[in-house]
A and B are shown apart, each in its own frame.
Chain A
Amino acid sequence: MARLEAQSLTLGYDKSMIVNDLTLELPAGEVTMIVGANGCGKSTLLRGMARLLKPSAGSVVLDGKDIHTQPAREIAKVLGLLPQTPIAPDGITVRELVGRGRYPHQGWFRRWSAEDDDAVGRALHATGTEELAERAIDELSGGQRQRVWIAMALAQETDLLLLDEPTTYLDVAHQLEVLDVVADLNRRRGTTVAIVLHDLNLAARYADHLVALKHGEVYAQGHPAAVVTERMVQDVFGMPSRVIPDPVAGTPLVLPIGRHRVVRGRDLDQNAARAAAGTGSTGTMPSVAAAPTAAVAGDAQHAGVDAPEPGVEGEDGLLAALEACPTVAFKLTAVAATTLSPSYRRVTFTGEDLAHFGTGGHPLDLRIKLVIPSPASSGEDHVAALRPDGRIAADDVAGWYRKWLAVDPQERGWLRTYSIRSFRPAGHPGNVGEHPEIDIDFVLHVKREGGKLVGGPASVWAAEAEPGAEITMLGPNSKLCAPDYAGIEFRPGTARRILLAGDETAAPAICSILETLPPGMTGNAFIEVPGVDDIQGSFTRSGVSVQWLPRGSRPHGELLNQAVRSAVAIPAAGAVVPGQDPEDVDVDSTILWETAEAGSHPFYAWLAGEAGTIKELRRYLVRDAGLNRKQVSFMGYWRRGKAEM
């Protein structure tokens, strides 16, 4: 695969330098978008990389060789360019024009061949211009014409394609048409594409890699979700803006703020809330803005650790589970199952037991455990004592888990932890039946081999779960927790600025938290998911800016790490409580689980996901950025390489 990079490249016309000592590598097989204000040198850079301009200093290197030392025709077989305003000769047909893209493949003696015909046919097909092939260019609309030009560049059949403002003068539908064609090309042929685009929002949507140029230098580059921030827009375009998640694509959406025609509320968050009022939400939306309180009574996670006072013993010497156990076992039946994306499947459960589910109705990061049934089980209920109608020995209130663990997994099943995505009390209009309902978003790590799903038992169970499937959930007992209990780990206290970060396993919790956050909260949420398709619509009335980070082929946690580092600088400005050195906690000894107390700090971070990633982030925030440990909650939900999660 062809690799193109600029090394300390300086470009200019006459004496004025437009691109200064710029180093940039186009990631192979990805779509790179170059954005920047007018005159920032983005087109000049593209022209320079396409060897249309001789560098004043530095070089452009294609597959390890300086492109200015190689014959132009050889370069043109690998590197295609569509300039901003190519000229269509009069009277030429589409097919002829596309055929001119074959020029570099023809030589002194090698003339038009069947191979050239095939290449033209493929290019016409890829751009959907086959039916235009015999038409004259002059007869075409702007969008068609641009597709034909792209077809010409495609007929060149290069591994690399550079496009300079391919959507200029096109209406928005045709802009999308053109970018979709380019995206298809990138997906199907793996062509490395670099595009100079002036529409920042479209660039953010279609880019795998976004490069923001300012004064001929790279201001920022990386995944659009990490690059497009309000600060970047301010610095690069000199324009105040708000960046919100694009409700369509999940990518950053820049809303410019001009001097006029801006809603006259001083508080932009309230404006956003006003604008969002009335929009439906999949999750639980509190009707009134309740500041999330750190309610703690029971602990679903550490069942039995904080055992409350035992209830009254009955005649059998046993206690009623509902009186004694902070965690009870709920019998649930699936009523709906939807595949949200390649990596997510949402299962909606109901059951009369949910009347005892301990939450105020607006779970934040409420963690529960599901007993994934084993196909080989005898059917015996190993948590019968924990059922709402169960009776339990006093010792077992704390000790049931150890006993349960001792049972053969093939018999008892497997315990897995999940976040409640949303909880709808009985009578909620969205409910299917009369009982309360919960949604749980399962992360699927499965693949299909020979028609059979292969993966962890939980993933396989969730992937195959259909309405009617039954499961046991271990969750908080409403009798033994505060009425507004909403999970344990999200405790921002009085903080008004927050950082939420996590991988796909934390996405349900983060989405749930976001939906519940009141207006007035600001900060960032970063959610790393396996792929672009896993980006979900997330709703928040708060001013928290949400960025989904599709991982693609990058290592787990890399994007999340970058994003958190870009959001919390060293030293964390405004977030640090001076004079408090971070303690070094050995986070290796156990899976990282450190919850902060409700504090009075202005900043609060909540991080969850794969333990290794979270550990790194924790090191950065607590040790490098100097955050107080009380400001940060860390939860390692699972550990890479370990099936149990």
Chain B
Amino acid sequence: MTAAVTDRTVPALPRPHRGTRVALVLAGVVVVLFLVTVLLGSTIVSPSELLAVLSGQTVPGVSFIVLEDRLPTAFVGALAGAAFALSGTVFQTLLRNPLASPDIIGIGYGAATAAVAGMLVLGLQGPWFSVSAFVGALVVALVVYFLADSGQHTGGRLILMGIGAGAMLHAVMNYLLSSTDVRSAGDALHWLVGSLSNSNWERVGTLAVALAVLAPLTAFAATRLKVLQLGDDAAAGLGVDVARSRLTLVVLGVALAAAATSVTGPIAFVAFLAGPLARLLTGGRTDFLCSALVGSALVLAADFAGSNLFGDTSLPVGVVTGALGAPFLLWLLVRSNQQGMGG
């Protein structure tokens, strides 16, 4: 994310804008969590050892852990968290509904099903695996989008259709998993939970390249998204090509979700949680930079917790975020019902 996404419509104020202050604090939190992920764990790495490793020295017992395990894990966690969060925030803002995150409206299932099919049926790996996740997500997203009249029915209809599509894909995925041999299915299942444990520098590279392309595009599209937020008619009145802008944003959101999913597997509820949490921090406004930072922090914190807080058992990050996200979803449903906007 670049600073260009923060709100430019506010002229310089004597003190930094609230969004900027929140972003600075969040960036600090992410850095701390990043360091915690790298330094702490079953083997504790001291800061001086870390500096030594980073400066190229070989520290026995530490170099491997830092360079081949913890650093890639921390990078993948931070980048995937940001990508999920951006994707979720794009969809939630575009569809004006906090329920409209990609993991709820079937896009996550699209990516997962296509990826599992690619893995189990075609034996895809590496970049092609990512491409299959992206194509699956995009197909589901576009089908849902056009079934809901090019997204004109942004409320319940699109979300319900997405949930329906998700259920169907879930069935397909179960069929694929149950009809292959146990070992392959085990790999797929592990991936499906969402985990950072397979992180390596190649995957960091994949994610970094994807984000380097997608984040600036999202930042640019966000200026249009801000106008689209005013409603379709108002946006059209301001000279935005509503249908095209919406389609662009859908494709961007799908690409972000698919890029992260293909690397880490679907980490549950990060896309769903990051936007609303960031809004709580910024006082209700949508801020993409803050959302991305919240997503990074969520994934890093959940991964650290899953790895270290449950004794000998190491829980994959998706289990922890799932445990956090489900109650939030319930709370959101209860609240939106009270407000009469239940989708």
> Is A222 interfacial (CB-CB < 8 Å)?
no
Check if A76 is an interface residue, CB within 8 A of chain B: yes
Tell me the bound Cα distance from A250 to B7 in angstroms. Answer: 48
Q: Is the CB of A103 within 8 A of B239?
A: yes
Q: Is B233 a contact of A72 with CB atoms below 8 Å?
A: no
B227–A93 CB distance below 8 A:
no
A219 at the interface (CB under 8 A from B): no
Partner of A81, one of B233, B279, B283: B233
> Are B233's CB and A86's CB within 8 A?
yes
The one of B227, B236, B284 in contact with A100, judged by C-beta atoms closer than 8 angstroms, is B227
- 0/1 interface trace, chain A 61-89, chain B, CB 8 Å (1 if under): 00000000001111111011111111111
Check A83/B238 contact, CB under 8 A, given A90-B286, A96-B10.
no
Q: Which A residues touch B223, using CB under 8 A?
A: 103, 106
A-B CB contacts (within 8 Å), total count: 95
A93: which B residues are within 8 A, CB to CB? 10
Chain A interface secondary structure, helix, strand, loop or mixed? mixed
Tell me, yes or no, whether A289 is within 8 Å of chain B by CB. no
B-chain residues with CB within 8 Å of residue A164 when the two chains form the complex: 233
B interface, size bucket: 20 to 34
How far does the Cβ of B267 sit from chain A's closest Cβ, in whole Å?
A: 26
A72 and B230 contacting across the interface, CB-CB below 8 Å:
no
Known: A73-B239, A100-B238. A112 touches B8 (CB 8 A): yes
Indicate whether B285 reaches chain A with its CB closer than 8 angstroms.
yes
For the complex, give the distance between the alpha carbons of A100 and B239 in Å: 11
A95 at the interface (CB under 8 A from B): yes
Find out whether the CB atom of A72 lies under 8 angstroms from the CB atom of B239. yes
Chain B contacts of A88 at CB under 8 A?
230
* Shortest distance between the CB of A82 and any CB in chain B (Å): 7
Q: How many residues of A contact B (CB 8 A)?
A: 46
A100–B230 CB distance below 8 A? yes
A101 at interface, CB cutoff 8 A: yes
Q: Which chain A residue shows the least CB distance to B19?
A: A91
Would you call A90 and B233 a contact (CB within 8 A)?
Answer: no
Q: For the complex, what is the distance from the CA of A51 to the CA of B232, rounded to whole Å? A: 12
CA distance A75 to B234 in the complex (A): 14
Contact partner, A91, options B9, B231, B239, B285, Cβ 8 Å: B285
B16 at the interface (CB under 8 A from A): no
Within the complex, the shortest CB–CB distance from A137 to chain B, in Å, comes to: 10
Residues of A within 8 A of B226 (CB): 89, 100
Q: For residue A162, which residues in chain B have a CB less than 8 angstroms away from its CB? A: 237
Closest to B236 in A: A52
Please give me the residue from chain A that is nearest to B283 by CB atom.
A91
Q: Give chain A residues whose Cβ lies under 8 Å from the Cβ of B236.
A: 50-52, 72, 81
Taking the closest CB of chain B, its distance from the CB of A305, in whole angstroms, is 68
Whether the pair B238, A103 counts as a contact (CB closer than 8 A) is: yes
Q: How far is the CB of B79 from chain A (nearest CB, A)?
A: 27
Q: Across the interface, which residues of B come within 8 angstroms of A75, CB to CB? A: 239
Q: How far is the CB of B201 from chain A (nearest CB, A)?
A: 35
* A72:B241 contact, CB within 8 angstroms: yes
A93 CA to B283 CA in the complex, in Å? 11
Using an 8 Å CB-CB cutoff, how does the interface string of A252-289 with B read, 1 for contact, 0 for none? 00000000000000000000000000000000000000
| Contact A87–B9 (Cβ < 8 Å) | no
Q: How far is the CB of A86 from chain B (nearest CB, A)?
A: 4
CB-CB nearest in chain B for A105 = B239
Q: Does A47 contact B (CB under 8 A)?
A: yes
A51 to B11, CA, bound (A): 32
Which A residues have a C-beta under 8 Å from some C-beta of B?
Answer: 47, 50-52, 71-77, 79-93, 95-97, 99-104, 106, 111-112, 117, 136, 138, 152-153, 156, 162, 164
Closest CB pairs A-B (n = 4)? A76-B239, A91-B284, A81-B237, A99-B9
Can you give 30 contacting A-B residue pairs, CB < 8 Å?
A: A52-B236, A52-B237, A72-B241, A73-B239, A74-B239, A81-B236, A82-B237, A83-B231, A84-B233, A85-B231, A87-B96, A88-B230, A89-B226, A89-B285, A90-B285, A90-B286, A91-B285, A91-B286, A96-B10, A99-B9, A100-B9, A100-B238, A103-B227, A103-B238, A103-B240, A104-B239, A117-B11, A136-B284, A156-B238, A164-B233
